[in-house]
Amino acid sequence: ARRPMFDSSNISAQNTAAIRENCEALGLELGSKQVGLQQPTLLRMLRCEMEAVIEKGEAPADDTSRLGELQESYGLAQSAVTAELESLIAKRCGGHLLQAASALRRNEPDEVLPELEQLIHFNALNPFAVPSQSVGRDERSELLMRYQSSCLTKGPLDDNDRTRIDALRTALGLSDAQLAAGAATPLTRPAAAPTGSPTSPNVL
């Protein structure tokens, strides 16, 4: 059997980018037989790269071209990439909400804000109220207040601040529409996939 050109046993954002760039330099497609990487491996590699891009804030909701470029580089079907992105967004949003709430309970404000920033980065790609049985409305409101206060320490709010605060409000389930619908504190992921759920990011 043909052996892969690259070792895929230790995948990280750094080495996946190096593999992709090496293939591009050699004029090879990542999914080609010459490279020898199977689709599950390619999806894991792409997930690592997408995750790193989103973490750095390089895929804002109004310009996701970088994610589209990555999909094209890997030559994977949009349906498969969308499913991988759905999974990534849901996992990271849930994790950052829990970590922010945990830091709040420990009274460690310096750890709260970075978690909220990452929650905004990932949730903004497909806004939805992040479900959690362990983070209630009071804690969500406190997290929002802490973030708003941090923005105000720099001076009057600008448009970027307001956009980010609104994005966090949606992620926490505290937007006016969510409150009116009684969905301020979602406890479980909905069985169906309503508009705005984490099941269909429209970014690729």
The CA R_g of the chain, rounded to the nearest whole Å, is: 19
Q: Which residues have C-beta within 8 Å of that of residue 15, sequence separation ≥ 6? A: none
> Are the CB atoms for 59 and 66 separated by under 8 Å?
yes
CA distance 56 to 48: 13
CA atoms within 13 A on the CB side of 92: 25
Q: What is the 3-state secondary structure (H, E, C) of 129-168?
A: CCCCCCCCHHHHHHHHHHHHHHHHCCCCCCHHHHHHHHHH
Q: Considering only CA atoms, which of 166, 174, 103, 106 is closest in space to residue 141?
A: 174
**Which pTM value belongs to this model?**
0.81
Encode the chain (204 residues) as per-residue pLDDT tens digits: 445 555 556 677 778 888 888 888 988 888 777 777 888 889 999 999 999 999 999 998 888 999 999 998 888 989 999 999 999 999 999 999 999 999 999 999 899 999 999 999 999 999 999 999 899 999 999 999 999 999 998 888 889 999 999 999 999 999 877 776 765 444 444 333 333 444 456 556
CA distance 67 to 65: 5
